[in-house]
Amino acid sequence: MPAPERQEDFPWWLAVLIAAGLWLFVQVWQSDVYAQIMAKLAKGIGITLLVTAVGFTAAAILGLLLAVGAGSRWQVIRQAVRLYVEVVRGVPIIVLLLYVAFAAVPGAVALWNMTGLPELQARDVSLLWRAVIALVIAYSAFLAEVFRAGLASVDRGQIEAAEALGLTRWLRFRLIVFPQAFRTILPPLGNDLVAMVKDSSLVSVLGVADVTQLAKVTAAGNFRYFETYNMAALIYLSLTVTLSLILRQIEQRLRSRGAAR
């Protein structure tokens, strides 16, 4: 006798978060202090979203290229990818951020100036883009492993069948391998996207005016640390929970389409 299907639990966790969020929003509307703090922190939301969107998109592209390189027929490429992934994953993101900002970028500018091309100054590269570069490097290593595992999950027989039909390597990847791997990749990919939203706060170490940096400056000026960091937490929670719910809906749709087939 087959076991009865388990019904999905009611999302009480979401109800608690919504209740807490509504309470904080009511405080914003009713309290001049909360309203002033929110007005200041809201100016950093755009930077947070920009860092997340640009950083994650570039990291995903680079991570996919690294994952493909990890399966290359050339040993030197496979070893180079492995070296990159292990080194980057072994360095804390904040250390990588400081290294890129104050060592790698000035060094790259110095090398550029040795080529005889139009001269650059390190200050020409803003701290915002140095932070984005660091996050791209850091997350590309993690996403490379996600993509590698997803690509490896595709049944070898289907790839061989595509080869028998005369499909090129690119067509096999685009039409057979990646669409199937994407269903496996999406959940951990979504987790890393949510993590990127939170890790974007690390750019505040360089003084970039994101939500976290504005919260530090605001709290240092008004000495209302409790209210200020409540608002900062509310902004990040609103972003991450909304993103998690969207990703969960996408996963369910992909799952239902797969079951229909």
Helices (H) and strands (E) in the chain, counts: 12, 0
The count of residues in the chain is 261
Alpha carbon distance 24, 240 (integer Å): 16
The CB-side HSE value for 96 (13 A sphere, CA atoms) comes to 20
The whole-number pLDDT of residue 109 equals: 86
Q: Which DSSP symbol is given to 163?
A: H
212 within 8 A of 204, measured Cβ to Cβ:
yes
Neighbours of 123 (CB within 10 A): 9
Phi-psi region of 35 (alpha: psi -120 to 50; beta: other; left: phi over 0): alpha
pLDDT attached to residue 259: 58
DSSP per-residue codes, 200-214 = GGGGGGGT--SHHHH
Percent of the chain with pLDDT over 70: 95
Query: What is the predicted pLDDT for the residue at 228?
Result: 92
Q: What is the DSSP string of 225-260?
A: HHHHHHHHHHHHHHHHHHHHHHHHHHHHHHHHHHHH
3-state secondary structure of 189: helix
Given this model, what pLDDT does residue 32 score?
Answer: 85
Q: For residue range 10-35, what is the model confidence (pLDDT) as tens digits? A: 777 778 877 877 877 777 777 788 88
* AA identity, residue 258: G
The region, left, alpha or beta by phi > 0 then psi within -120 to 50, assigned to residue 43 is alpha
Asked whether 236 and 197 are in contact (CB, 8 A), the reply is yes
**Cα 197 from Cα 193, distance rounded (Å):** 7
Query: Is 122:135 a contact under the CB 8 Å cutoff?
Result: no
Would you state the pLDDT for residue 6?
A: 57
Question: What is the pLDDT at residue 261?
Answer: 58
Q: Which residues of the chain have pLDDT under 70?
A: 1-8, 257-261
What pLDDT, on the 0 to 100 scale, is given for residue 60? 94
Q: Write the CATH number of the domain with boundaries 33-256.
A: 1.10.3720.10
Tokens of 217: 């400056």
CB atoms within 10 A of CB 64: 20
How far is residue 210 from each of residues 48, 138, 186, 201, 232, measured CA to CA in Å? 5, 19, 27, 7, 10
Q: What does the pLDDT look like over 144-191, one tens digit per residue?
A: 999 988 888 887 777 778 777 777 777 888 888 888 888 888 889 989
Q: Give residue 142's region: left, alpha or beta (phi > 0; psi -120 to 50).
A: alpha
The per-residue pLDDT for 168 is: 79
At 85 the pLDDT is: 94
